Chain A
């Protein structure tokens, strides 16, 4: 099974049609183009064909890997940002203690306060969430476009950073800490069998510990298999401008 780096869910190839006696090949082809679902893969009796089965297992393994692998320090360096972590000590904590995934301990808070500009209009940061590969796959295209567009609109953007073992609700702690008016968290989505590199953006106006979940504005399914990162970024920048104007988020 070929798995290139940064392309962890590639087993779905359009040449893999395994049904026999296709009445209209063109139609099947166009159906396969219209959906990423596994159609036209044929069957052997009541079971999958070997290739389909292997593809399925490989994609499932890729999804599972995406949850448990670490974002490499090198990738973070390449993005030119610094790193903090939540209370979780490892991926196991991350999965079993969702509550720790939003706690930022004193030493890490100190790093934030030392290295970040205070009271920005918009604070953008990104985290691994449940999908580490999504960081390398999307942040290089997402972050600069959002930042550039906001700065062009004369909006102050805070110092970006990476949060390891990150859950969305770190925003409730980080926003008041840095005095940010709007926070935008770019975070890996729980992977599926279609893509193991999707990211979401959670945006909120003045997040605080007692906020409602519904106060987040969400843009999901950002990946080259879903919404192209550059186009999502342009959309997110517009959303942030609107949220600053309206002084509220969570309105769809």
Chain B
């Protein structure tokens, strides 16, 4: 039994906007006589768009209408109707996600992007998607090395550490090619973060300054800036001791695992400038080419390079299209749910085998805290790790406790959504169904890891209803 799903990935970055379509093959890998186990067994990219410059109305606003038109044109070119798309993600990445109207742009796009496609990346998710899209995760799995992927774009450098194919840590710093823009022989833009870097380093560059490749003093100054930017990158991946500058250039989070990577892979637009053909210094109207050269010249980074990335400039969009969705376990339970369920906030609770008697107290405490923080009681999902191979008595107990908590703090009409890691979703779901009144909506899935503060999208069931596609979104719009 084989099922194909069409996935879309759209990446609206600081500099460029791209789109891909891919075909994911879902198959039962359980084998004869086994409990079904549906997995994504193949990922093929069937269409890649041109790379567009992200249209902006002003420095702080994305031109949503122009983005929409651009995407519609690509759908047409690919011969794909928006309603044919099953899953995937539209993500606004890098500096762009700080733009004022990012949220409205996503909403505008969500109606054209099929039934499922509405995810957006905070810096962490973007780091992970880029690292998976570039192939860094796979390299770490094949080699057993600690691999750090640096996706350096126009506005930010997204860093993700992988070990054995798994995410170990993520970081993001405001280092990118387009923090200084140059047009018609003049500096036309310096980003606020770049101003701070300049001030910290005592280098004086202002908008309106003349910018000429023949002006040696000026080029020395820019090269010095590029070099400082690279030291920030080196610090961010722990190749160099940390200074105040790193904290200054941090987007939201730095590496905390305190381990030095064995290998570094590069992706994003700057990766092409590191490896690619030589261009004129201001070919892109920014510091991209200079920054690429500075990265290439960095001894600390270059001696860690050499693993072959599969994708560079497309890494994030491929990550969005191919890696944003995961499949739930194939023994799950749902009743009276209308899919897809989008943007469901997650409340995490501890399911401690030793303290199941007070499980309802734990859930109510977490739900209460959530509702107080958000001042709202909308639909949410309860998530826990679960218990490895629970007994019948434990399942009954847990179902009773969850039902008790739900009665107290679940809103009428909401679906009881339970998301677990351990394989116990169907057993618990059936037990919950027996506890709650017949019309109450229930969804109980497993094999999904998420934590408090995440959001989940849950799509229309696949594989003759046995599994659901899930997108776990970490930290949306942290403003």
Contacts and interface: CB of A to CB of B under 8 A. Distances in A.
Contact of B427 (A27, A145, A224): A145
A200 interface: yes
A218 interface: yes
A234 B430 CA distance: 7
Contacts of B430: 145, 149, 152, 234, 237
A9 to B, nearest CB: 15
A227 B34 contact: yes
A145 B424 CA distance: 12
Contacts of A152: 430, 433-434
Contacts of B32: 218, 252
Interface string B418-453: 000001111101100110000000000000000000
B22 interface: no
B391 interface: yes
B35 interface: yes
A218 B390 contact: no
Contacts of B390: 228, 230
A4 B331 CA distance: 31
B144 interface: yes
A213 interface: no
Given A148-B434, A221-B34, A228-B390, A26 B164 contact: yes
A27 B331 contact: no
A252 B31 CA distance: 10
B333 interface: yes
B426 A234 contact: yes
A24 interface: yes
Interface in A198-252: 200, 218-221, 224, 227-235, 237-238, 252
B395 A220 contact: no
B427 A230 contact: yes
A231 B392 contact: no
A235 B144 contact: no
A141 B424 CA distance: 13
Contact of A220 (B33, B392, B424, B425): B33
Interface string A3-16: 00000000000000
B164 A219 contact: no
Contacts of A36: none
A82 B418 CA distance: 38
B467 to A, nearest CB: 13
B392 A23 contact: no
A96 interface: no
B146 to A, nearest CB: 9
Nearest to B394: A230
Among B34, B35, B426, B433: residue with most chain A CB under 10 A: B35
A233 B434 CA distance: 15
Contacts of A24: 143-145
Contacts of B391: 140-141, 230
B144 A26 contact: yes
B257 interface: no
Nearest to A149: B430
Contacts of A23: 144
A233 B35 contact: no
A234 B331 contact: yes
Contact of B429 (A148, A219, A232, A234): A234
A148 B423 CA distance: 20
A140 B391 CA distance: 8
Contacts of A140: 391-392
Interface in A17-35: 23-24, 26-27, 30
A224 B143 CA distance: 31
Given A26-B164, A141-B391, A224-B389, A219 B35 contact: yes
A247 B163 CA distance: 50
Contacts of B388: 228
A228 B34 CA distance: 12
Given A30-B164, A145-B395, A221-B33, A231 B426 contact: yes
A98 interface: no
A243 B423 CA distance: 24
B331 to A, nearest CB: 5
B424 A231 contact: yes
A51 to B, nearest CB: 25
Contacts of B144: 23-24, 26-27
B331 A141 contact: no
B424 A26 contact: no
Contacts of B33: 200, 218-221
Given A141-B391, A145-B392, A231 B423 contact: yes
Interface in B373-401: 388-392, 395
Nearest to B446: A231
Interface string B350-392: 0000000000000000000000000000000000000011111
A235 B392 contact: no
Contacts of B427: 145, 228, 230-231, 233-234
B389 A228 contact: yes
Q: Which of B143, B333, B390, B425 is most buried by chain A, counting CB atoms within 10 A of its CB?
A: B390
Contacts of A220: 33-34
Nearest to A216: B33
26 contacts: A23-B144, A24-B143, A26-B163, A26-B164, A27-B164, A141-B391, A145-B392, A148-B434, A152-B434, A200-B33, A219-B33, A220-B34, A221-B34, A227-B34, A227-B423, A228-B388, A228-B390, A228-B423, A228-B424, A230-B389, A230-B392, A231-B35, A234-B429, A235-B35, A235-B426, A252-B32
Given A145-B427, A221-B33, A233-B392, 7 more contacts: A26-B144, A27-B164, A149-B430, A224-B389, A229-B392, A230-B391, A234-B430
Interface of A: 23-24, 26-27, 30, 140-141, 144-145, 148-149, 152, 200, 218-221, 224, 227-235, 237-238, 252
The 9 closest A-B pairs by CB, nearest first: A27-B144, A24-B144, A234-B426, A230-B427, A220-B33, A234-B427, A224-B389, A218-B33, A228-B389
